[in-house]
Structure 1
Amino acid sequence: MDLIELITQTPLIQNGINQSKIKTQRQLITGLASSAKTLAIASAYRKFKQQIIVASPNLYYANQLAEDLMQVTEDVYTFPVDEVLSAEMAFSSPEARTQRVLTLEALVSNKPGIYILPAASLRKYLPTPEVWENKRFYWQVGTEIDWEQLAQQLVLMGYQRESMIAKPGEFSIRGSILDIYPLTTPNPVRIELFDVEIDSIRYFDVETQRSLENLEDITILPTTELIFSQQELEKGSDRLQELLDKRLSVVSEQSDKDFLSDYFGQLIASWKQGVPGEVAAVYTDILYPDQTNILDYFSDNTLFFVDDYARILETNRQIEEEEGQWHAQKLEELRVFPEQTFGKKLQPIFQQSKFAMTFFSLFQKGMGNIRFETIHNFQYRPMQQFFGQMDLLKVEMQRWKKQQQTVVFLVSDNQRAQKLAQDFRDYEIYAVETSFDNLLSQQAQIIQGNLQSGFELPQDQLVVVTEKEIFQTVKKKRAKNKRYRMLNA
């Protein structure tokens, strides 16, 4: 029995997991926080082994939850999107783009997993799942390639053509050789053709150009989540022209008209030629008329967990406020249109969802107008900090023993486990050393494992203590600050 099995045995968790599957109901789980909530989500995934959505307030909390979940399951995907629109439009790191690409690929491949989605990601416009499925290649030795259309197809997948590739996201074509550097492979790939068939596939070193490893097959994924079909670009150029004509009819300054005509004229021409361009992300509402978002990639029977709805609403308010300011600035710069939108409205997503929904919140307040068919109230206590004081820990251990609690001490490695076991022996604290998947009910035990924080569920007789709570020391105040106060006393 491991931690997930242990927490799944508690009646409230069992009820919550079972009712999370009922599509006609919304349930609220109050009291759970931090790693206790992580284990509850992991329990639902282990039982149903299907796709689970976890909506998170922002990217910071999404990353924290992902790190915690990855300690107990490998099937965790994130879709990082910055809450600040200006930052998201200006720059996207290769790491973030890779995570988004891999998440969309997992979704169209129907992979089960826990998909952690920050609030901003739920608003983001995306290509339809059908467009995504048609914008990836699976090649084997012997596969025939349409060489004439290949360069254009790779451009629509977000790749940039270069004479010689140097970094992920680039490709080059020389004679019958394709060099391509996907975001999702450890090295660039060289593909040689014999006539129209693939003759060889291999990794190579980008610096020396020497071959590293022969491959039998390769999957080439887009370099960005924002990919477009030729049809979308053509129809988008028509819509852009309509917006431009409308704007030109109300602009009085000739210099503004000239700028608009030149700027958007070049963009329209680029789209007609099948080149999205670097600023396409600003016009996804025009290029994606269906205004698809990531939830359209999930089937109707997906479980939807909402982590801290009140904070999600607050994040959404801040996003919309910043978006309005950014839109106004770009209107002054004549680079967007008044009719444009830059994301879906968030509240209708939660109020009119097609999914079975479970909301996590510390309290029942702040849930807006959402009604719940079932409410589960947990008794939860965050684990106190012991700061290395074994006497204090010993007192708590005596209390937990009297209450017949199952106590689990988590340490990062075997060396730390041995040190903690020795400390316990020195202070006559009884705990057995065991493995992560061999926990003992109503016993105190030391195991190797990691969670972000410990907790106590008194009602469910479960205590988890991490080494951070045991050994973390009190930070001393800096001497120079004391001197500063003395000098200014």
Structure 2
Amino acid sequence: MSALLPAIAGIPVPGPGTVRTLPACHGSSDALLLAGLACREAANGRTLAIACAGALDARRLATEIAWFAPALRARLLPDWETLPYDAFSPHEDLISERLSTLHALYRNEVDVLLVPATTALYRLAPPSFLASHTFHFHKGQSLDEPALRAQLTLAGYEHVSQVVHPGEYCVRGGLIDLFPMGSALPYRLDLFGDEIESIRTFDPDTQRSLYPIDKVRLLPGREFPLDEAARTAFRGRWRERFEGDPSKSPLYRDVGNGIAPAGIEYWLPLFFDATATLFDYLPASTLVVSHGDIEAAARRFAEDTAQRHRFLAHDPERPLLSPAEVFIDAGQFFADAKRFGRWAIRRTGEAAGGEREAVSGDQDEPTGVGEAGRRSFAHALPELAVNRRAENPVERIERFVVEHPGRKLILAESPGRRETLLQLLLDHGVSLPSLDDWSSFLASDEEVAVSIGPLHDGFDLTDASLAIVTESELFSGLVRRTRRGLRETQTDVDSIIRDLSELKIGDPVVHAQHGIGRYEGLVTMDLGDGPTEFLHLIYANQATLYVPVSQLHVIGRYSGASPDEAPLHQLGSDQWEKARRKAAKQARDAAAELLNLYARRAARTGHAFKLEMSDYEAFAEGFGF
């Protein structure tokens, strides 16, 4: 990484209370720059905490940085994904990821932290809460089962009949199934008497054991305590903070009874003498990075929060804490950030995070912008879009590959998309090597290659040493699908036809409404609104269907048997609809069989065999090994 990006070595480290502006970035080059800086600082024992103005940018950077530098310990601190003062709690998977990230951060086990700016404004439980409510099991340890049940209940874990989600546990005889918060898989503790004989992970879907481990870390099940001392403190602070009869509030009564009511997270400060902020979890040597306009994002969040507080504050059964008690504002965010050195970074066309705050002082340069900030790290690529109207649709990318002086990497979204792209280039005389990932590209001597990567946009480094091209540049006008985007009818990325240049005369295709047909080329017709291009599709009995190019999204790739033997459907019949209904019915039948199977398994009463030590000793003595 450092050999490829020598410019990173010249970027100085900001001291505590100072702000330096990083070079402007284009596309996904910000992920490459931050990955390079994180690798450099991780070698010196420093953590990079990146606060992003947008939540989508935080998730994008988490994915892209991990792709550029897979050895980095990169963590995302997710948002609760609820609106301020909502009357329901965050999903347990989000709480699990948050607790795991905060615990790792406090133990200095994170190289790169990604966090949306609005998430960084939430007040948190103090680090001492996580430290005192985290404990471990190890193989060979003596375990008191009743004490463990009580401890898990106080920690916020739920006893269930079958463990599926984080924060659940189940005790069946000498087996204890446990899904700790922050764990990717649940664990199965096998007890021999009161001793842990073995610990194995298991699949929550099949309930089958996977592989053995020696130790289990158990984080608290919530971001606040719910033991007797915490409930007493909560009730006392409630009475001090709110007027009226507290017993009329269901929320107050539930906490008193040891129940965590929905939305209780927005009363978190009442559980603690003092809350913490994200900066209290950061190691002292951390370097903070503000990505985008943090100040504007914090201001919008404060306005939305104040509006919701005004709207919801009149319910006597759910009296609200003030926004200042639950969140910090932009001023405190930047004041806390002064304990650390800070970089500000922006993408082309954006303002660097906290510009107003930076120019108010505390920067180590008169202008607040270092030498790095006066130049760009990367700029936009030239026009490379596939031109289906040209005789050679890939002429632009072919010319770019020849003329660009540095290394070039062309990225597809998936293995199927990579093969389609390679075939498209090969059909027009461009043969390029295929590599697995970024690490393979760095290790190779190839000047140009095609690979798979999650980058959203390509870029060309200013020093011309590297250019990365994504499908966003090759097939312009198409919006890249994000992991959290809206679901559409066609979700298989390998079957999406991105551009007409991917189709050849005679290829079978699938129309979302009419079924399987065969592509016969493009035709131009004038229907009264000027010349319009249509896809010419042939169906059974030589029936013809014309599909406007603007509706290319309803056409998918045929992925059945041999393309030459693809069965063509009959237009105007219910043949395609019958095939779809039959497939849907088969899927429902399979799902019903599985549900019935699991229901019968869950309802079946097991048999606990009595252990006879004499029989076991006789068995052990007769065992040949």
- Residues 290, 428 of structure 1: CA spacing in aligned structure 2 closer, same or farther, 3 A cutoff? same
Judge which range, 414-423 or 463-472, deviates more.
Answer: 414-423
CA distance in 2, matches of 1:300, 1:392: 50
User: For 1:358, which of 330, 343, 346 is the aligned residue?
Assistant: 343
Deviation at 1:55, TM superposition (A): 0.4
Q: Contact 2:247 / 2:253 at 8 angstroms: preserved in 1?
A: no
2:374 is matched with: 377
Aligned counterpart, 1:266: 253
Q: What is aligned with 1:54?
A: 50
AA matched with 1:9: P
Partner of 2:614: none
- Aligned with 1:15 (options 10, 13, 18): 10
Say whether residues 1:69 and 2:57 are aligned partners.
no
Structure 1 residues 162 and 265: alpha-carbon distance in aligned structure 2, compared to 1, 3 A threshold: same
- Map 1:64-463 → 2, pairs under 5 A: 64-74=60-70, 75-82=73-80, 85-86=83-84, 90-162=88-160, 167-173=165-171, 178-183=176-181, 184-187=183-186, 189-192=188-191, 194-195=193-194, 197-202=195-200, 215-227=213-225, 231-244=229-242, 247-248=243-244, 257=245, 261-263=248-250, 265-267=252-254, 269-270=256-257, 276-308=260-292, 310=293, 312-334=294-316, 335-337=318-320, 339=322, 341-353=325-337, 354-361=339-346, 362=348, 367-371=355-359, 372=363, 373=365, 374-375=369-370, 376-379=373-376, 380-384=378-382, 386-388=384-386, 389-397=393-401, 399-400=403-404, 404-411=405-412, 435-438=440-443, 444-450=447-453, 451-459=455-463, 461-463=465-467
Distance 2:79 2:215 in 1: 32
Give the stretch that moved more between structures: 464-473 or 61-70.
464-473
In 2, the alpha carbon distance for the partners of 1:484 and 1:266 equals 70
CA drift at 1:20? 3.0
Alpha-carbon distance between aligned partners in 2 of 1:289 and 1:14, rounded to the nearest angstrom:
44
| Equivalent-residue separation in structure 2 for 1:167 and 1:413 (angstroms) | 29
Distance 2:425 2:328 in 1: 55
The TM-score, its normalising length taken from structure 1, stands at: 0.78
Q: What whole-Å deviation, never above 9, does each CA across 1:156-209 have from its counterpart, x for those lacking one?
A: 3221234665644223456776443335253453453624x4344445677897
d(CA) in 2 for partners of 1:147, 1:80: 34
- C-alpha deviations, 1:136-163, integer Å up to 9, x for none? 2321233233545433432332212346
AA of the residue aligned to 1:48? E
Cα distance change on mapping 1:151 and 1:407 into 2, 3 Å: same
Q: RMSD of the TM alignment (CA)? A: 3.9
Q: Does the CA contact (< 8 Å) of 1:204 and 1:211 recur in 2?
A: yes
The offset of 1:37, in angstroms, is 0.7
| Equivalent-residue separation in structure 2 for 1:104 and 1:429 (angstroms) | 49
Please tell me whether the aligned partners of residues 80 and 94 of structure 2 are also in contact (alpha carbons under 8 angstroms).
no
CA 87–447 in structure 1, closer or farther in 2 if over 3 Å, else same: farther
> What secondary structure, in the 3-state scheme, does the structure 2 residue paired with 1:110 have?
coil
| C-alpha distance after superposition, 1:284-305 (max 9, x if no partner) | 1222332212221111111111
* Separation in 1, partners of 2:394, 2:204: 55
Tell me, in whole angstroms, the C-alpha distance in 2 between the residues paired with 1:193 and 1:392: 69
Aligned twin of 2:595: none
- Greater shift, 202-211 or 335-344, is seen at 202-211
Distance 2:448 2:206 in 1: 53
Range 186-195 or range 367-376, more displaced: 186-195
Deviation at 1:262, TM superposition (A): 4.7
- Mapped to 2, the partners of 1:158 and 1:164 lie a distance apart of 17
% of aligned pairs identical?
Answer: 19
TM-score (norm 2): 0.63
Farther-moved stretch of structure 1 (47-56 vs 335-344): 335-344
1:188–1:87 Cα change, 3 Å: farther
**Distance apart, 1:234 and its partner CA:** 3.0
Distance 2:251 2:80 in 1: 27
Q: CA deviation at 1:132?
A: 0.6
SS at match of 2:136: strand
The alignment covers a number of residue pairs equal to 454
Bigger Rg over Cα: 2
Higher helix share: 1
Mapping 1:475-486, distance limit 5 Å: none
**Aligned mates of 1:457, 1:211 — CA distance in 2:** 48
Residue type at the aligned position of 1:358? W
Structure 1 CA distance, aligned partners of 2:159 and 2:109? 32
Distance 2:309 2:412 in 1: 49
The secondary structure found in structure 2 opposite 1:70 is helix
Letter in 1 for 2:327: G
Structure 2 unaligned runs (5+)?
387-392, 479-497, 500-525, 531-625
CA distance in 2, matches of 1:464, 1:207: 39
Q: Distance in 1 between matches of 2:529 and 2:91?
A: 43
